[in-house]
Amino acid sequence: MHQPEVLFLDEPTTGLDPQSRLSVHDIITGLQTAGQTIMLITHDMAEADALADRIAIIDHGRLLTLDTRPDSSDQSAVAPSSLSPPTAPTRLSWPRRS
């Protein structure tokens, strides 16, 4: 297998039993530790909070929230639902090929 600059994982744990889900989390964490950039797409906010360094919430192609995950050692850490919105709504789109 190759080493992509960014690894896109779209709902990698959907439909998995709890043990398999944790195994996938361990694999993702190992890849992150090795320096792999991962774009994790999930509806599971607990999963996003456990695995992500940055969280973005996108609704109908609009970026509603983008923030770094609070330091886990910070006792005043906020939940993903309280992340601040970006300064201006952003429409996301794929770059057009020339």
Q: Which domains occur in the chain, in start order? A: 6-70 (3.40.50.300)
For 59, the enclosing helix (H) or strand (E) is strand 54-59
Q: What phi-psi label fits residue 15: left (phi over 0), alpha (psi between -120 and 50 degrees) or beta?
A: left
Residue 14 pLDDT > 70: yes
Q: Average pLDDT for residues 5-23, to the nearest whole number? A: 95
Q: What is the pLDDT of residue 32?
A: 93
Using DSSP, state whether 52 is helix, strand or coil: coil
pTM: 0.66
Q: What is the pLDDT of residue 65?
A: 87
Strand partners, 59: 62
The per-residue pLDDT for range 22-72, each reduced to its tens digit, is 999 999 999 999 999 999 999 998 899 899 989 888 888 888 888 886 554
